[in-house]
Structure 1
């Protein structure tokens, strides 16, 4: 089976804010965000060449263990998971590159929460430069937020999502949590008669409730990344998109301009607005796989990468342990097992960067799943990446 629900790759006639990010429309929209939402450019520069490696890797001949414990064919699993782009890099070289659903080299694709990991890399660079002390509070960076629940959370707590601010992520309720976020960034219309905040800054300022003390435990909340982005812009006086271009995209040798979707006041949607090409996401993964280096330059401080792999499992509460029993979250990356610290940048609808530093291995998968969250399919793709890394490392 190949491409279970092929995209016809033309703009849906009934496209609207209500349906753009849902199946089947996402098969087109995720590669065309700039065609119907406001965006800000992330400029590329002189590209770093990615050479090909002849490893003889054949997914049709490879099997892996899926979420049920069954052995399944790797090629069939890729075919059945709404793949738009798939890239494998080993020791800095391209082992496999596969485009589907109208995607091609140079196409950009919405990465959803993979964006968080890019913003965190930017934070690491700025911290190393002395621009972003991690122990400073949100209110110290953004005084206008001195009355909100984030006021005394630190940048470090934002990076690890350990603030105690109440912001439910699990249900897209249009009057609370992530539902309000969608309205504030301009991705959904406000229900008639409501007065929801209409920008990210307004939404953050409106939050007043704590669920627990800051620093007590991890809870996945996209709002943490938005507040981090506001702190970064306040500390530097620069826009996020320009900083990502200057400090990450151009130095690492990106070959295609990327973009951030922006909210109504032009603020980059830090938690999920990045659209980028498959190869450039691979280049970003290489930065973390190769001690912060890419294109012959130190992009992210080596120590930052090491810290990112050193998650604290004691902060990972029981509700996240069903499929990550020894997992953690650090610097806006997921760690499946702190004893074998592969780090993952993950986004809803099937976006993934899988980084195994020990094996100098990077896998990127861009997808348009029909459901936003599919734990079984994510586990399968994670296991597939691990099996490919095993295969290449033992060759």
Structure 2
């Protein structure tokens, strides 16, 4: 299905009342703001080069008719799943061609949408490109790349620890206190105002340098923390001397044939918000997913090294568990991608409020879903969307 709802184009929709720095990224205002980040926050462009067209497959997949069983045996209709999960855009690619493209909530093909933590997967691809070029050794420590972090709890963590989120640094992702854990990061990157009289760090670099606590040895187990990606981004910038937005442009967006410019939100010092600040169009996220479905290649040339892509598919379930295992039978996490089943052929990129890239390399299938859920995390809704895309991949590939 190719089309859109009857809502006006995103550019024609007025800024909603009550949108402030405190409220912009929370429901229901996220329904507007995720398509208008550059009107709310400072950003840096990720320039495209010569676009590589995506063509439509001769036979389109009709989401209004596509029925599938979820893992609980219920019969669901894809269109109803999209309609009831605050979808802004959905794209399915099979064998590199569009089999389904759907827009809602005023979004259009040229509309950039905040990707939240899908940004992490893009940054990991950048790290892989640089690593295989010899410019970014993964065994080096944070302090070796950024001497200013030598007193930080991250100082002796390696790039591999950061990529797999296995450092032992104490920095809780789900803290409710706005001035601890990820709440501090929101202030540091400029996504939330500084509370009156609060001495919180005012930039990503300052926040990383201030961290001292550890909860375990590096490498002991996986714990999802967005700060790991911010530290990784700082190390990439230190290793190359280039802005992250420029690197993503020259090493990813241009070589893969992106159709539109993307952008990164930046902190008060102009540093890209590496863990969740990327805004991009639906099709360009599909192009990115195709790199991981096709061993790193686009239009016959290698963009992401094949060895890096293949390694990303192999995680260690022994480091993975607890709440992260919910909905993941034999799960793992590797290089900023989720693996639901280490014996399967799927990796996923995920972002809060319903951002998803589903990549099945054996079936040459990529699904992208951009959303504005009313909750940051919803396991049932995530699993339902994953089941839908897995069913589409099986149907298109003949099993």
Shorter-chain TM-score category? over 0.9
Mapped to 1, the partners of 2:287 and 2:176 lie a distance apart of 33
Q: Cα distance, 1:10 vs. partner? A: 2.2
User: Is the aligned partner of 1:196 residue 2:180?
Assistant: no
Select the residue among 132, 135, 138 that pairs with 2:136.
132
Q: Cα distance, 1:100 vs. partner? A: 1.1
User: Is the aligned partner of 1:52 residue 2:56?
Assistant: yes
After TM superposition, the structure 1 = structure 2 runs for residues 265-304 of structure 1, keeping only pairs within 5 Å, are: 265-304=269-308
Question: For the structure 1 residues 239 and 350, does the alpha-carbon distance in structure 2 shift closer, same or farther, using more than 3 Å as the test?
Answer: same
Q: 2:228 is matched with which residue?
A: 224
CA deviations 1:133-191 (Å, max 9, x no partner) are 00000000000000000000000110000000000001342121010010000001122
Mapped to 2, the partners of 1:179 and 1:132 lie a distance apart of 30
Q: 2:41 is matched with which residue?
A: 37
Mapped to 1, the partners of 2:329 and 2:322 lie a distance apart of 8
Mapped to 2, the partners of 1:172 and 1:278 lie a distance apart of 31
Select the residue among 113, 118, 136 that pairs with 2:117.
113
The answer (yes or no) to whether the contact 1:174–1:190 under 8 Å persists in 2 is no
Mapped to 1, the partners of 2:201 and 2:222 lie a distance apart of 26
The answer (yes or no) to whether the contact 1:9–1:27 under 8 Å persists in 2 is no
CA deviations 1:166-225 (Å, max 9, x no partner) are 000013421210100100000011222211111000110111011000001000000000
After TM superposition, the structure 1 = structure 2 runs for residues 123-272 of structure 1, keeping only pairs within 5 Å, are: 123-272=127-276
Q: 2:18 is matched with which residue?
A: 14
The answer (yes or no) to whether the contact 2:139–2:159 under 8 Å persists in 1 is yes
After TM superposition, the structure 1 = structure 2 runs for residues 296-315 of structure 1, keeping only pairs within 5 Å, are: 296-315=300-319
User: Is the aligned partner of 1:28 residue 2:39?
Assistant: no
Q: Cα distance, 1:370 vs. partner? A: 1.1
Aligned length: 393
Superposition TM-score, scaled by structure 1 size: 0.97
The answer (yes or no) to whether the contact 1:148–1:207 under 8 Å persists in 2 is yes
Mapped to 1, the partners of 2:18 and 2:65 lie a distance apart of 42
Q: Which moved more, 1:46-55 or 1:233-242?
A: 46-55
Q: 1:64 is matched with which residue?
A: 68
User: Is the aligned partner of 1:340 residue 2:344?
Assistant: yes
Q: 1:75 is matched with which residue?
A: 79
The answer (yes or no) to whether the contact 1:86–1:278 under 8 Å persists in 2 is yes
Q: Cα distance, 1:67 vs. partner? A: 6.3
Supply the RMSD in Å over aligned alpha carbons: 1.6
Superposition TM-score, scaled by structure 2 size: 0.96
The answer (yes or no) to whether the contact 1:67–1:376 under 8 Å persists in 2 is no
Q: 1:91 is matched with which residue?
A: 95
Q: Cα distance, 1:279 vs. partner? A: 0.4
Mapped to 2, the partners of 1:43 and 1:295 lie a distance apart of 19
Q: Point out where structure 1 has 5 or more consecutive residues left out of the alignment.
A: none
The answer (yes or no) to whether the contact 1:218–1:315 under 8 Å persists in 2 is yes
